[in-house]
Amino acid sequence: MKSLGCVGSLLLPPEASFFLLTGRGERRLRGGEDDVILAALQGDLGRLKGVTPLMTAAQSGDVSTVRYLVERGGDLMKPDEKGRTVLHHAACTGSTKVTEFLLSKGIPVDIDYGHGTALHQTVINEQDKTVKILLDHHANLGRLPVELAALNDCMEEVEMLFPLTSPIPGVPNWSVDGVISHAKLKNTKPLAIDHAPDATLYSNRSLCRLHMGDGEGALSDAYKCRMMRPDWAKGCYRQAAAYMLLGENKQAHDALLDAQKLDPGNEEIDRELRKAMELMKVSPDEDQQ
């Protein structure tokens, strides 16, 4: 495909090279594509750093292109420089079909690289339809606006939001003072050892879900495992096993190749890789599905 080349005197970055212009210089742009042109015209291409073709296809709602890129190894977990994954890009622009497709592939609904979950950013962008999809997939609501205001000592906002907020379970004193006390207490860290989930926990839970026949759950946990320990072969192995259960043999094969690179000579990985290659030979072409 041809590159846009430049807009005015501004050269577009490599990740924008798949956008097209007509012969007369007219734009044929949709959704996320307009963002590239706008950034170029404003001289602010820096905000597009780390934005991949997969993310831009997700923004534009192009399910077929998203599926094509995912099947060929597109990274569902990779964040851009603002901590937004492909799920963030899809949900925040109201791309409902792409959002549903991505969640069906096991991407964690609450994935957060420190800049907010997809649900948080989708609410800010007022995308009601994708908010519902994320909630249907059990996205964590996090703190309510009145709690955030109380936590940040914004008394005027607390008093404004309080009459608009339904009583919160676990707040015995339902009053402005009660909400403030609850928010402060909720934010207090206990003086104990941190038992936050780690990669081993997600690996083990992925295995349990595999035995229960829950392919999507197993894949979601495998993704979290790989995100926490990208250099651990077992995370790749768990991901491959989940893909196999879901009948996605090409993705299983790719995950096993990653595992083999991390742990060369592992007989179990080599055996499963041969099995995946055999399944790819006998199964229908996934591109035609």
Looking at residue 142, its pLDDT comes to: 66
77 exposed, middle or buried (CB, 10 Å; 0-12, 13-18, 19+)? middle
199-288 CATH choice from 3.40.630.30, 1.25.40.10, 1.10.8.620, 3.40.190.10: 1.25.40.10
* Integer angstrom CA distances of residue 116 from 46, 83, 111, 121: 20, 8, 8, 7
The domain defined by 6-136 folds into: 1.25.40
pTM summary value: 0.49
11: number of CA atoms within 13 Å, CB side?
2
183 exposed, middle or buried (CB, 10 Å; 0-12, 13-18, 19+)? buried
In 3-state terms, what secondary structure has residue 23?
coil
Among residues 224, 265, 273, the alpha carbon closest in space to that of 244 is found at 273
Mean pLDDT by 10 residues, the chain (289 residues): 34 38 37 50 54 89 92 86 88 92 88 77 78 84 70 76 77 84 67 57 84 87 89 93 91 93 92 90 53
Looking at residue 186, its pLDDT comes to: 66
State both tokens at 160: 């404004």
Same fold, 6-136 and 199-288: yes
State both tokens at 168: 């919160």
Which residue ranges make up each domain of the chain? 6-136, 145-186, 199-288
Residues in Cβ contact with 157 at an 8 Å cutoff, skipping those fewer than 6 apart:
145, 146, 149
